[in-house]
Amino acid sequence: MAHDPTDAAPGVATGAEPEPGERAAAPLAPGLYLVATPIGNARDITLRALDVLAAADVLAAEDTRTARRLLEIHGVRRDLRSLVAYHDHNGAQARPRLLAALDQGRSVALVSDAGTPLVADPGFRLAAEARAAGHAVTAVPGPSALLAALAVAGLPTDRFLFAGFLPSKRAARRRALAELAAVPATLVFYESPRRVAACLADMAEVLGAAREAAVCRELTKRFEEARRGGLGALAAAVAGEPEPRGEVVLLAGPPVAAPPTAGELDAALAAALEGQTVRDAAAQVAAALGLPRREVYARALALGRR
């Protein structure tokens, strides 16, 4: 299988290395910088992100090996003694050191393994405490698996809810899905490849097998994939396949309201006909119930002849 040098597994950024050379490290104002990094394709880094990574007094990284590799790929030369680990497991110990650096008027850049810090990644408490202490907190935006998945999934994007990772245990996962079932928005979840099949099965049962959904994986890489279909069909397809590779984003479209029953249509028309013409009543009810005007008008005429 051919390897695309711009692909990178999350946490291991790779790419076509630029010509050797140093980026000029312009002075950076004191504060905490939340720097987005590539989610797969190393060339997705922004010029501003590279400037901040080169100039920050302290670079805090979820995985220092990943951060070093990213710096190497893009020719960013800096003193690696200023590179410190900051992740979920050492946050309580590392946070005071980073806050002390901010108190000293230094600049601190925070990066996660991939994507945007704080979005299902470490950093929330650091950002909150830095802000509470009066320090500037600046976003250096860029790649995000959440937004990339929304862009390619083909589901409504005017309103969405990011729900992070669902619980790993089935009962807790189903409870969480039940709480989200009626939310009038596209639901977005991050998921481990080994739990995709089980998660889709629960989503189909709790949210409805016909609900439109998408499975997105290997985003920004050579073998990027976005599969669309009803939750039931996707769950059945994935159940018979090998465990997918790469990071996965699952999306479920907004719930579709059940069409009104014949009795509900008749009741709405009866109320509208009390003070309006048949044509006006049909137009009002059709708009309110999302039904074809011609069908509603025909039903209104039938009711009027009774």
Could you report the per-residue pLDDT of 225-282, keeping only the tens digit for each?
999 999 999 999 999 899 888 889 999 999 987 778 888 888 888 888 888 898 998 9
Smallest CA-to-CA distance from 4 within 191, 223, 198 is with 223
Q: Is the pLDDT of residue 17 over 50?
A: no
Burial (CB count <10 Å: 0-12, 13-18, 19+), residue 300: buried
Would you place residue 103 in the very low, low, confident or very high pLDDT band (cuts 50, 70, 90)? very high
- Which contacts of 238-245 are long-range, i.e. CB under 8 A and separated by 24 or more positions? 238/196, 238/197, 238/200, 239/197, 239/200, 239/201, 243/193, 243/194, 243/196, 243/197, 244/193, 244/196, 244/215, 244/217, 245/193, 245/217, 245/218
Would you place residue 287 in the very low, low, confident or very high pLDDT band (cuts 50, 70, 90)? confident
Q: Is the pLDDT of residue 297 over 60?
A: yes
pLDDT at 23: 56
pLDDT at 2: 38
Q: Is the pLDDT of residue 18 over 70?
A: no
pLDDT at 203: 97
Task: Provide φ and ψ at 184, rounded to 5°.
Answer: -80, 65
Burial (CB count <10 Å: 0-12, 13-18, 19+), residue 245: exposed
Q: Is the pLDDT of residue 1 over 60?
A: no
Q: Is the pLDDT of residue 116 over 50?
A: yes
Helix (H, G, I), strand (E, B) or coil at 289: helix
Contact 247, 7 (CB under 8 A): no
How many Å separate Cα 23 from the centre of its chain? Answer: 31
Contact 144, 42 (CB under 8 A): no
Q: Is the pLDDT of residue 9 over 50?
A: no
- What is the average pLDDT across 174-178? 96
Would you place residue 73 in the very low, low, confident or very high pLDDT band (cuts 50, 70, 90)? very high
Among 72-86, 156-170, 286-300, the minimum mean pLDDT is found in 286-300
Contact 193, 165 (CB under 8 A): no
Q: Is the pLDDT of residue 12 over 80?
A: no
Cα 126-129-131 angle, rounded to 5 deg: 105
- What is the average pLDDT across 63-79? 94
Q: Is the pLDDT of residue 121 over 50?
A: yes
Class of the 146-252 domain? alpha beta
User: To the nearest whole number, what is the mean pLDDT of the chain?
Assistant: 89
pLDDT at 5: 38
pLDDT at 10: 43
Query: In the structure encoding, which two tokens stand for residue 117, read together?
Result: 């810090």
CA distances from 233 to 215, 238, 257 (A): 12, 9, 20
Options 2.102.10.10, 3.40.1010.10, 2.40.50.140, 1.20.910.10; which CATH number does 31-143 get?
A: 3.40.1010.10
Identify the residue with better confidence: 284 or 10: 284
- What is the average pLDDT across 115-123? 90
Q: What percentage of the chain carries pLDDT values higher than 70?
A: 91
* Polymer length in residues for the chain: 306
Query: In the structure encoding, which two tokens stand for residue 261, read together?
Result: 């029953």
Which range in 24-28, 164-168, 275-279 is most confidently predicted, on average pLDDT?
Answer: 164-168
Smallest CA-to-CA distance from 246 within 41, 2, 17, 36 is with 41
pLDDT at 274: 86
Identify the residue with better confidence: 137 or 257: 137
Would you place residue 13 in the very low, low, confident or very high pLDDT band (cuts 50, 70, 90)? very low
- What is the average pLDDT across 174-179? 96
How many Cβ atoms sit within 10 Å of the Cβ of residue 20? 7
